[in-house]
Amino acid sequence: MPAAEITHNEPALDSGKLMRMRSYLDTASFREVIAEFETGIRQRLLNLEALDLTPSQIDAICHDLINFSGTLGLCELASAAEQLREHARRQARADLVSAQVAMRPVGDRAVATLQNYMEALLDE
């Protein structure tokens, strides 16, 4: 399995982080942990769809997404969340809304990449 899947000039997944986590958890625990992270990512993405969020609310959501994606090795999602957080901190409203809307497809790709990885790993 490749160490990274490339999308939009950025690796979507650094599988080394997942492999490291997998090395110290049994299969059932690993699946459960990954499912919890996936649920958390999906919830934060849904929360971001509310376009009337304050910059501090966006900052908090991005903080969670950066932590989740960093733990899982979801590089593209971490980068997009960092960019969105920066727009929120600068309170650049036009850039903020555009980056906020762009998060959904990035998040969907991240979740799909994670699911594909898990299916391939657990089929071995």
Q: Is there a domain that residue 75 lies in?
A: yes
Q: Between these two residues, 5 and 107, which has the higher pLDDT value? A: 107
pLDDT digits (tens, 9 = 90+) for 65-120: 999 999 999 999 999 999 999 999 988 777 888 888 889 999 999 999 999 988 88
Q: Is there a domain that residue 58 lies in?
A: yes
Q: Is there a domain that residue 6 lies in?
A: no
Number of domains in the chain: 1
Q: Encoding tokens for residue 26?
A: 């049994």
Domain hosting 70: range is 12-123
Give the pLDDT score at 12. 80
CATH of the domain at 40: 1.20.120
CB 69 within 8 A of CB 41: yes
Q: Is there a domain that residue 5 lies in?
A: no
Query: What Rg, from alpha-carbon coordinates, does the chain have?
Result: 15
- pTM of the entire structure? 0.86
Give the pLDDT score at 9. 57
CB 72 within 8 A of CB 45: no
DSSP 12: E
Q: Is there a domain that residue 4 lies in?
A: no
Cα–Cα distance measured from residue 109 to residue 112, given in angstroms and rounded to the nearest whole number:
5
Q: Is there a domain that residue 1 lies in?
A: no
Give the pLDDT score at 7. 45
Q: Is there a domain that residue 72 lies in?
A: yes
* % of the chain with per-residue pLDDT over 70: 90
Q: Is there a domain that residue 57 lies in?
A: yes
Which residues are within 8 A (CB) of 78 and not within 5 positions of it... i.e. 6 or more apart?
65, 66, 69, 70
Whole-number average pLDDT of the chain: 88
6 — pLDDT class (breaks 50, 70, 90): very low
Give the pLDDT score at 1. 38
